[in-house]
Amino acid sequence: MESRGGRSIEVDFFRGIVLIVIVLDHIPGSALSHLMLHAYAFCDSAEVFVFLGGYASAAAYTAVLAKRGPGAAQLRFIKRCWEIYRAYLLTALLTLVSGALLALFHLNQPMVEITGWPPFASQPLREALDILVLRRQPYLSSVLPMYVIFALCVPLAVPLARRSAAAALIMSVAIWAAARPLAGLFSIDDVRDWAFNPFAWQLMFVLGIVCRVRPVSEDVYASNTARWLVRAALAAVLAFAVLKLFVLTQPLPGTLKQNLSVDRVINFLAILCVTARLVRLGSVAWLAQRLPAVVRVGRTGLVCFVTGTLVSLLVDTATPRAFHGVSGVLVALSGDLVAITAMLVIARGWSGWKGESSRAAVNGAGCG
């Protein structure tokens, strides 16, 4: 379903949900985070975030391509690369400043370590250079360097997928299979340096591109094969949930996420298949229309991602840890509510400011 401006309300809704979930997942004391995707699946919000990034990038590229040609589309993503890089630097700066303030006032020591402030304080010039050249990414900024690379590749990946979805997927799978040695060549095979191996995670991004430029036809969706595929996918989702909840209950090695392991990909594809069915039935659009504030968060994705870093840090620091039992759960839920409200308010405020700026520009042009 297309919303105003040709945007998909379902995609914006999912992006809004994922951005809120990312904030909650990075609040160690969050109560709601125990109900999120990572609790009952081998994948988490990161796969959804990157997949939707590929989908939205393909939509944006094809829209500019249709209106202004390939040169404008390529230029748009070169500019987008710069926008993401600036957002990465801002996120890193906010993270380090937050860590410095927490250290100064002796607050939330575990979070001080996570922000990366201690090594920066000891070697500021070296750490600053490492951040500038993407060698180090403090805390939540770690996903953005990967997006810088992906934005540069969009003008190559989207035309390839438009010509041949099979060729795009085969090439992407081949790069994913060789992701660890490729990362080693660029010295990004250490999870402490790059939380996401871009050679592996490009598979999620390309899957999003392919789903946008080569959507499944109505005839295929209506076939018996598709119905059985959805049933098999639902069975796989339930099987993965049982494994995660009752068998593999201990935290899995970080390298599995960093390098996008096979089980994560399979689990995500199963969830994607079931979700696509719900989208086709109109269930997601119906829900999105009744939660416009969440859709607004999805439409202000980069701003909400950057500010979400501060939200998670502030809420985690302000949430008391002295309570246990029911009181502890209520305190944690209160922190979650504050975080969610903050994200909705930020999205609303930014959208309002952008709307006023656009109207002012139009009025100024009219007066001229």
DSSP string of 61-95, one letter each residue: HHHHHHHH-HHHHHHHHHHHHHHHHHHHHHHHHHH
Q: Could you tell me the two tokens for 79?
A: 């500019």
Nearest to 111 by CA among 305, 311, 316: 316
pTM (2 d.p.)? 0.90
For 214, left (φ over 0), alpha (ψ -120 to 50), or beta?
beta
What does the chain come to in residues?
Answer: 368
> What's the pLDDT score for residue 320?
80
**pLDDT value for 361:** 42
Q: How many whole angstroms separate alpha carbon 198 and alpha carbon 258?
A: 9
CA distance linking residue 248 with residue 40, whole number of Å: 10
3-state secondary structure 93-112: HHHHHHHHHHHHCCCCHHHH
Q: How far apart are alpha carbons 282 and 262 in whole angstroms?
A: 30
Question: Mind listing the pLDDT tens digit for each residue in 211-261?
Answer: 999 988 888 888 888 899 999 999 999 999 999 999 987 888 888 999 999
User: Which regions of the chain are under pLDDT 50?
Assistant: 1-5, 191, 360-368
3-state secondary structure 135-177: CCCCHHHHHHHHHHHHHHHHHHHHHHHHHCHHHHHHHHHHHHH
Rounded Cα–Cα distance for residues 3 and 101 (Å):
42
Query: So what's the pLDDT on residue 185?
Result: 80
Rounded to an integer, what distance in angstroms lies between the CA atom of residue 83 and that of residue 97? 21
Output the pLDDT for position 299: 93
**pLDDT at site 360:** 47
**DSSP string for residues in 193-207:** T-SS-HHHHHHHHHH
Residues 221 and 214 sit within 8 Å (Cβ to Cβ) = no
Distance between CA atoms of residues 173 and 328, nearest Å = 45
For position 189, what pLDDT does the model report? 52
Number of Cβ within a 10 Å radius of residue 299: 21
Q: Retrieve residue 89's tokens.
A: 């630097």
